[in-house]
Amino acid sequence: MKERSPVLIVGSLAFDDLEMPYGSFKDVVGGAATYSSIAASLLAPVRLVGIIGQDFEQKTLDILAARGVDLAGVERAGGKTFRWAGRYSSDLVTRETLDTQLNVFADFRPKIPEAYRRSPFVLLGNIHPALQVEVLDQVERPEIVVADTMNFWISGERAALGEMLRRVDLLVINDEEARQLAGCHNLRRAATAIRALGPRWLIVKRGEHGALLFDDLGMFFVPAYPLEDVKDPTGAGDSFAGGLVGYLASHGHVSERLLRRAMFFASAMGSFCVEDVGPRRLLEVRKEDLRRRLDAFVHMIDYGGDLPFAEVAERP
């Protein structure tokens, strides 16, 4: 039976300055929780917890609210919103962080509103792992807890990260982070090592090379959708995670089978995100666009039944 459940998303809301090989963009609305919320809200109701400063426009909040994002958990503090600046390489594959200004984010202690405490689907965006644990201390045991993290916490906050990993069901990180966390280059071995630290499921994102899910059933792969024009990869990973949890929440439960399907919704949302600067394209995406992109995925990988090994085996 289908029952759309709410998704609780905790993380950053931001302004980003982006230096792309073809031009610069200032004060772009960003933040991991922003991207995840926009992606998830196409599929399920979202409850957002984060912090903004005086400079974050009401207009942006209205856009989120109009998509079914509940903003009761977004605190407006005195001061400026978190700011991040990055510069992308000419092929848009790598980027360097030019500046991070925590501003009001420096004092962020997630307070989960009473009405959010029984959220069955929880997405912990990339914040200090101790704060991710604080969120889990405030909610009743959800159906699934999905978490992201980054190199900064992996290298500097190992103890807090360990506690977080023991308490999450699904960790979604990129290949570099997986290698760093496991201390080994081979991704299969890294996945086994990371799952031994707690998460039952692990997704390793590999940018334009797709993503791998590791669980008790083995491995599952989803490609990235090959686009002719990539404009801005910022937030693609967060959109991936939002699409993934949004899809699971749209079913109201989790299973290995649903997770495999969710990987396609996740990859589709990531692909929309990179089509324009900031969350612009993601905000325009309608269910019909998503359906067409999912069809394109199926078309791309459908080989028409079993691989006919017998034909080859029979030949001398």
The region, left, alpha or beta by phi > 0 then psi within -120 to 50, assigned to residue 252 is left
CB-neighbour burial class of residue 33 (10 A; exposed 0-12, middle 13-18, buried 19+): buried
What's the min distance (Å) between Cβ of 255 and ligand AMP? 26
Which two structure tokens, joined as six digits, stand for 1?
A: 């039976």
CB-nearer residue toward ligand AMP: 99 or 314: 99
Any contact of residue 275 with ligand AMP (CB under 6 A)?
Answer: no
Name residues whose C-beta falls within 8 Å of residue 51's C-beta, 6 or more positions apart in sequence: 13, 74, 75, 76, 77, 82, 104, 105, 107, 108
- Binding segment (CB under 6 A) for ligand AMP, from list 9-17, 115-123, 175-183, 302-310: 9-17
Cβ atoms of 282 and 239 closer than 8 Å: yes
CB-nearer residue toward ligand AMP: 103 or 234: 234
Fill in the per-residue mask, 213 to 232: x = in contact with ligand AMP (CB under 6 A), - = not in contact: --------------------
Fill in the per-residue mask, 81 to 100: x = in contact with ligand AMP (CB under 6 A), - = not in contact: ---x---------------x
Any contact of residue 110 with ligand AMP (CB under 6 A)?
Answer: no
CA atoms 69, 73, 78, 79: torsion sign: negative
Helix (H) or strand (E) holding 176: helix 175-182
- From 8, 10, 14, 52, residue interacting with ligand AMP (rule: CB under 6 A): 14
CA 191/CA 182 separation, integer angstroms: 8
Residue in the shown chain whose Cβ atom is closest to ligand AMP: 30
CB-nearer residue toward ligand AMP: 143 or 276: 276
- From 237, 242, 243, 246, residue interacting with ligand AMP (rule: CB under 6 A): 237
Number of amino acids touching ligand AMP (CB under 6 A): 14
Q: What is the 3-state secondary structure (H, E, C) of 42-61?
A: CCCCEEEEEEECCCCCHHHH
Any contact of residue 32 with ligand AMP (CB under 6 A)?
Answer: yes
Residues forming contacts to ligand AMP in the complex (CB under 6 A) are: 12, 14, 16, 30-32, 84, 100, 126, 234-238
